[in-house]
Amino acid sequence: MPRVVHFEIHASQPESVIEFYRTLFGWRFEQWSGQEYWLVRTGETSAPGIDGGLLRRRGPAAADGQAVNAFVCTIDVADLESTLARATEIGGSLAVPRMAIPGVGWLGYVKDPDGNILGLMQNDPSAA
């Protein structure tokens, strides 16, 4: 079955979005061959997960003001409440508040400074 092997974040202001993810998650960004494309390293290759890229938003504005719409990626976090708070402190905004996913954990959604939505999941089998 096909699996996600790479993600991309589209941003009209790449530098501010890079700083947001660097500050919130400690992700590493490396500009690729002088292009307006940055490789995103989300962790060690020995740990589960995928890496991705970040690029300047392209295409004509859609009805909602976004040029590119995409899948929502959800990030595993140790403490959902503190991560939601930190995201809003550093320029993000709350999209969907904390909710229980019974038997799985706690889920919330934020928008980065460029309006991209991302999920945040705290593992907690006792969530109800």
In a domain, 118, yes or no: yes
Summarize pLDDT for 72-115 with one digit per residue, the tens.
899 999 999 999 999 999 999 999 999 999 999 999 999 999 88
Q: How many domains does the chain have?
A: 1
In a domain, 128, yes or no: no
Q: Which stretches of the chain are assigned E, i.e. beta strand?
A: 7-11, 28-31, 37-41, 52-56, 74-76, 93-101, 105-111, 117-123
State how beta strands 117-123 and 105-111 pair.
Answer: antiparallel
In a domain, 2, yes or no: no
In a domain, 14, yes or no: yes
In a domain, 63, yes or no: no
Indicate which CATH number applies to the domain containing 84: 3.10.180.10
Cβ 110 vs Cβ 95: under 8 Å: yes
* Residue-number span of the structural domain to which 83 is assigned: 7-58+71-123
pTM of the model: 0.80
Summarize pLDDT for 13-52 with one digit per residue, the tens.
899 999 999 999 999 999 998 889 999 999 999 999 999 9
